Amino acid sequence: MTHSEILSYCLEKQGAYEDHPFGEGCTVVKVKKRIFAQLFMLSGEPMLTFNGDIPTGEFYRNLYPEDVKRGYHCPPVQQPYFNTVRLSGSVPDEEIRNMLDGSYKYVVSKLTKKAYQELISDK
């Protein structure tokens, strides 16, 4: 998947919106002010960072050891929860969609009750 395909896929999710809190070089996709995907270039390569629980992060790092690493730019305390994927084409598109779906669901599950109610009422 390309950055534009990933961005389009993310923005289809309820309440998702694009932001650039780290500058124009990094596109962030959020729901209720919480990041669930980050798209950027690193040494000329397209990259994706997504959020999730520790077992899911470890699963993808073990499944794709050359292409999925701990969130490279995240503080050490956050690294077990974030994975950075090298978008070289080795990780199947369907798997990337699964990662993004899981990240979105994980972030939504961490919303406050009020934020969650706002999100589901925005239909």
Of 71, 121, 100, 73, the C-alpha closest to 1 is 100
Q: What is the pLDDT of residues 7-45, one digit of tens each?
A: 999 999 999 999 999 888 999 999 999 999 999 998 899
pTM of the model: 0.91
Q: Which CATH class is domain 3-121?
A: alpha beta
Of 110, 61, 112, the C-alpha closest to 82 is 61
Q: What is the pLDDT of residues 75-116, one digit of tens each?
A: 666 667 789 999 988 999 999 999 999 999 999 999 999 999
Q: 25 CB contacts (<8 Å, ≥6 apart)? A: 40, 41
